[in-house]
Chains A and B, each alone.
Chain A
Amino acid sequence: MSQQAATLPTQSPPFWRDLRFLTIGGQVLFVLLVALVAGTLYANVTQGMAQLGMTAGFSFMNSTAGFEISQKIIPFEPQDSYWRAFQVGVVNTLVVAIVGIALATLLGIVVGVAQLSPNWLVAQLARTYVIIFRNIPLLLQLFFWYFGVFQALPNVRESIALPGNIYLNSRGLVIPWLEGNATAGTWWLLVGASVLVAGGVMYALKLRQDRTGQQAPGLLIGAGIVIGTAGLGVLLLNPFTVTIPELQRFNFQGGLRISIEYTALVVGLVMYTGAFIAEHVRAGIQGISKGQSEAARALGLKRGQMMRLVILPQALRIIIPPTTNEYLNLTKNSSLAIAIGYPDLFNVSRTILNQTGQAVSVILLIMASYLTISLFTSLLMNLYNQRVRLVER
């Protein structure tokens, strides 16, 4: 017995129980397995592509597209290449995503706060909205907005007139718009410069407060500088002409026409995502313990200061990570545009796929585009999150 025990430590374990061997061997095995599966798939794909007459690479994207895109922000003609069509789709997706994110955030904050309102009716209304819109598929909601609401609008002649010269009809939403004059470029430069100046002044005021404790309404002064410059610029340079939509014989002249496909898509996405963001906002505000507001009051902070300096910075920490996910979801969900015929990235790519038959390349392109957009959005939001998150010591 004792002899055995003495020899035990010097004995190295057999290799099948040696952890070092197991980890390395296991990984080698795993890599081989993955390589085998990937290799088989790759071989199958190349063989299948050859059979179906597909070519690897993206050279086909340079040939003439030959189809029309109904809505575009950057110019596009059917003679342009598939690349150009694809770019139109990307820009269309971005326009939906950016406007959608901005409006959904606004709606989410309003409804999230309204859910906690002391006013019973307002709180119930907000809760009902959240409960209904969260639990119905987005696609169904999009169908509803597009076919049930926007297509059912009256025709151009009987347009619904909203205050502020906004008209709504079954062809779209017509709003007054600004057309840039020759001086518009100068005006934008001026506004840009004023933003920089305002930032500098606010930073200087903050430094002074840190040094001397003297307070100044920095945000108000900064906003004043920018708005003042912009207003003065409009008066002096006259950079824009407002075009107001007017009903002509068959359609509206002037103004900006936004298609019902776009409107329905944005409304659907905003109503759906807004409900989710509202829940995050509510949870974030409720997550701040009552002691925080009581302590802020005890320090003599006013209500606005308490919200701005104590509650919101802490609530944001809870709100931002899940809201980032909602932004990403909204962007990805914009691919449902295909259901109501808005030419977004996915829709245009699918047309390209149908015309060229290059399934592999086009799908790779679609996935890569969405991945890029997603990664870029999370990068931005992570940077913002790092600014507001708790600094642990």
Chain B
Amino acid sequence: MALETQTAPPKVRLDPVRWMRDNLFSSWANSILTIVAVVLLYSIVQPASRWIFTQADWTVVVANLKLLMVGQYPLDQVWRVWLSLLLTMAMLGVSKGVWSKVVGNVGPAYVLGLTLLAVLPFPLYGLTNRLWLAAGAAVLIGGWWLGRRYGASPTFRNGVSWAWVLLLPLVLLLLRGIEPLLPVIPTRAWGGLLLTFVLAITTIVFSFPIGVLLAVGRRSSLPAVSIFSTIYIEVFRGVPLVTVLFMFLIMLPLFVPGSESTDNIIRAIVGFTLFTAAYIAENVRGGLQSIPKGQFEAAKAVGLNPFLTMVLIILPQALRIVIPSNVSQYVSLYKDTALVVVAGGGMLELLGISRNIANQPEFLGKFIEALVFAGVLYWIFAFSMSYIARRLEAEMGVSKR
């Protein structure tokens, strides 16, 4: 009855003065807060912009753009990196078409970013790179259209999910090469943002199954398995990542004789993987705990044994629930790849190479410029991923209380 009598709220005209009075100067305390905020903002923005536009010398970044992006990756093979980017952008586009709300503004922002980079007359890179960038924007839009068109079909949606899972190993294979088809690029040639991504992606691929096994192990009714898993998880969660990396970089030959020649990158990946797996395990355990008991009982009633119950009934539900928290974990892994700089081993991922180029004689003391550039790159991808994780969480209603 109340519904019928309700009238529409009065139309509020967009009035800047009114808006400011409501949002900035609604009370004495609020006005003071506003003034404090303005002063704070000015005291940060003014020196920062003065430094960015007048004092900083960005030639260190311009001259080393290739190193920052892909390290020593051979120039005639860089198309493989571009192709990986294109594949990822296509998948992002398709996902935007299918799950528009989850991808949100990341889709349009990437189209805009790629287009601007392709079109704006920065004197940084040549025509080929501009074409690749433009192609990135194009496949993103193409994928978007494809996703919108076929997104209604459940088979298509399933296919997209699996394509994401397959994309990571595919990209790794493409970057590394397979002997008769593509020349193998030695890992020491990898560097910059590319190496950051390779470290993160490889770790994601390997740590996920280990983490799931550990989570199931910790919940297991078999004491031997559950005690082992618990100790593993608690030990790795209790120590800093740097010490784990340090241990694997120094001590691997001690544990495994004959591994002296093992690549530092592989050692670092082993360290990252074992560390991340412990955190993934805790996330997955949270998911397992949230599955109602009835699911286990129903599976038992249908006659499934414990193993099949886990694989067919419980894990598919639990893993779906923990997607957002796992993505957050991967974001922190992506940031943590920078730790190889302190752990030693001479790997030049994005942060390492930023430090190195500031040691070149002609760019001495230009460390901050390189750092700021690296920071922006780190930020873009970490922010997009955590944005999508937050959207996923909201979409799946996990955070609703």
Contacts and interface: CB of A to CB of B under 8 A. Distances in A.
- Do A and B form a real pair? yes
A333 B374 contact: no
A97 B246 CA distance: 21
Contacts of B386: 134-135
A245 to B, nearest CB: 24
Contact of B374 (A49, A140, A289, A332): A140
Interface stretch (B73-81, B136-144, B204-212, B223-231): B223-231
A135 B224 CA distance: 39
A154 to B, nearest CB: 14
Interface string B377-401: 0110011001000000000000101
A369 to B, nearest CB: 9
A360 B251 contact: yes
Contact of A148 (B331, B371, B399, B401): B371
Interface stretch (A119-127, A177-185, A232-240): A119-127
A360 B339 CA distance: 21
Interface stretch (B23-31, B145-153, B308-316): B23-31
A352 B336 CA distance: 25
Interface stretch (B8-16, B180-188, B236-244): B236-244
A45 B255 contact: yes
Contacts of B225: 27, 30
A136 interface: yes
Interface stretch (B36-44, B82-90, B93-101, B158-166): B36-44
Interface stretch (A66-74, A159-167, A218-226, A370-378): A370-378
A49 B375 CA distance: 41
B24 A121 contact: yes
A117 interface: yes
Contacts of A120: 23-24
Nearest to B258: A44
Interface string B233-261: 00101111111001100110111110000
Q: Which of B223, B240, B351, B355 has the most CB of A within 10 A?
A: B240
B240 A370 contact: yes
Contacts of B228: 30, 34
User: Main SS of the interface on chain B?
Assistant: helix
B341 interface: yes
B178 interface: no
Interface in A129-149: 131-132, 134-141, 143-144, 147-148
A89 B225 CA distance: 36
B124 interface: no
B34 interface: yes
Given A48-B254, A363-B247, A371-B235, A137 B26 contact: no
B224 A287 contact: no
Contact of A375 (B26, B238, B243): B238
Contact of B37 (A44, A121, A336): A121
A273 to B, nearest CB: 12
B301 interface: no
B170 interface: no
Contacts of A363: 243, 246-247, 250-251
A27 B222 contact: yes
Interface residues of B, number: 55
A336 B242 contact: yes
Contact of A121 (B34, B242, B251, B374): B34
B367 interface: yes
B20 to A, nearest CB: 9
A339 B344 CA distance: 11
B112 interface: no
A333 to B, nearest CB: 7
A138 B337 CA distance: 11
B40 A125 contact: yes
A375 B246 CA distance: 22
A366 interface: yes
Q: Which of B225, B242, B338, B374 has the most CB of A within 10 A?
A: B242
B346 to A, nearest CB: 15
A377 to B, nearest CB: 10
B341 A119 contact: no
A147 B336 contact: no
Contacts of A132: 379
Given A120-B23, A140-B371, A367-B243, A338 B342 contact: yes
A45 B254 contact: yes
B157 interface: no
Contacts of B33: 117, 119, 121-122
A374 B242 CA distance: 15
Contacts of A23: 221-222
Interface in B182-198: none
Interface string A100-123: 000000000000000001111110
B375 A136 contact: yes
A144 B368 contact: yes
Contact of A41 (B247, B255, B339, B371): B255
Interface string A321-337: 00000000000110110
Interface string A166-192: 000000000000000000000000000
Interface in B300-353: 331, 335-336, 338-339, 341-342, 351
Nearest to A333: B240
A49 to B, nearest CB: 7
A262 interface: no
9 contacts: A45-B255, A119-B34, A121-B24, A136-B375, A140-B338, A143-B351, A333-B240, A346-B240, A366-B239
6 shortest interchain CB distances as A-B pairs: A135-B382, A332-B240, A120-B23, A374-B238, A137-B335, A137-B338
Interface of B: 23-24, 26, 30, 33-34, 37-38, 40-41, 221-225, 228, 235, 237-243, 246-247, 250-251, 253-257, 331, 335-336, 338-339, 341-342, 351, 355, 367-368, 371-372, 374-375, 378-379, 382-383, 386, 399, 401
